Structure 1
Amino acid sequence: MSSSSPRSTGDTPVPPAGLTRFNAADDATARTTLHEVCASRAWGERILARRPYATTDALFAANDAAMADLTAADLAEAMAGHPPIGRPKPGDPTSHREQSGMAGASDALKAELLELNLAYQEKFGHVFLICASGRTGEQMRDAVRHRIGNTPEREREIVRAELGKINRIRLTRIAEHAEGDAA
């Protein structure tokens, strides 16, 4: 059974336990939870406003709609919540988990990625953002090498798509998180 196919009792779908808790949380708690998913306040408010969610798919649809509506300033705010690839936030298990592909990277690869990150940031004015989950250090290096040649407009749309993927992974963790489990 997948998280997007909820159990049902008769004709009424039963959302996963974590999604039920998220739906029932007070606005301040839900807002804090959403901020851990995406640093954009506009995105969080859009997700919050559409509660309750009957299914994880409904939550994903809200994410997709909210992502499509983000302005350049909203995207910048969202990106500010992400550390550079190869430098996860100290003490942040989500950041370390998402960038695990860099864990075994050589010092040479880490240095090259740092150099590429700085060049990318100089060109675009923000951190290189990629859905790093499941990617190797080499794949992330190759992606930044390729994307640094993009126009700012093209790169903004790629960032929007990558951020949407990251949000989906994080929202899945919230929806599937059983009480007492580590998120």
Structure 2
Amino acid sequence: MTRGSTLPAHRLSDLPDRVALPALPEQTRTPPPARTALEGFNGAPAAEAHRILLDCLRSLSWAHRVTAHRPYPTLDALLAASDEAAYDLTAGDLTEALAAESLPPLPEDAYGAAHMALGAAHAAYEARFGHTFVICLDGLPPNEALDHVLETIRSRWANDPEKEREVVAEELRRLARQRLAGALEDPGL
């Protein structure tokens, strides 16, 4: 069997000042560095960053302020900016954020009486303060959440409205921080 014409073999001596470099095997090539969630957040269009932030705390002014100060060099810097913006929430901002909050979910194995107790405690709280009860359960073991929520809602019911507004603002700040840190752990960001 005859083959068609072939190109002449190249020899290094035929190519002065050239060096032949072998190709690296596929598995030894270094892939481009993966983009971190923080880099994704920093580089996202403003509308997308704003949406991510509103999932953490439903305050338009808070989300706008945190979005406007991008890029953040570290997650800690972003969380500090989130905290600062949360400390500056006005009464209207708090009302806006509270309107989107709901009670923390009960564990799936919670018994019916727990649902009734939490419902009654929340109804009394909402009647007194005019908004939903919010609490950040970050770091609390799931098996202690129900008792903690019930105990806290009952103790906070005794607060005067101004003191409770301060507590609510702090709980919203903690919730925003927890949710934002969780959102930026998501590699799909």
TM-score norm. by structure 1 comes to: 0.78
* 1:142 partnered with 2:151: yes
In 2, distance between residues paired with 1:130 and 1:179? Answer: 27
Aligned to 2:108: 103
Aligned to 1:64: 83
| Secondary structure in structure 2 of the residue aligned to 1:136 | helix
In 1, distance between residues paired with 2:61 and 2:152? Answer: 28
- Select the structure of larger CA radius of gyration: 2
Structure 2 regions of 5+ residues with no counterpart?
1-34
Q: Deviations over 1:43-99 (max 9, x none)?
A: 1011011110111111111111111110111011111111123xxxxxxxxxxxxx3
1:33 alignment partner AA: I
Native 8 Å contact 2:87 2:173 kept in 1: no
| Secondary structure in structure 1 of the residue aligned to 2:184 | helix
Q: CA RMSD in A?
A: 1.9
After TM superposition, the runs of 4+ consecutive aligned structure 1 residues lying more than 2 A away are 101-104, 132-135
In 2, distance between residues paired with 1:102 and 1:159? Answer: 23
Q: Deviations over 1:83-131 (max 9, x none)?
A: 123xxxxxxxxxxxxx3x5322221111011011011001101000001
Structure 1 regions of 5+ residues with no counterpart?
1-15, 86-98
Native 8 Å contact 1:128 1:144 kept in 2: yes
1:130 alignment partner AA: I
In 1, distance between residues paired with 2:64 and 2:188? Answer: 24
TM-score norm. by structure 2 comes to: 0.76
1:72 alignment partner AA: A
- Pick from 163, 171, 179 the counterpart of residue 180 of structure 2: 171
Q: CA deviation at 1:174?
A: 2.3
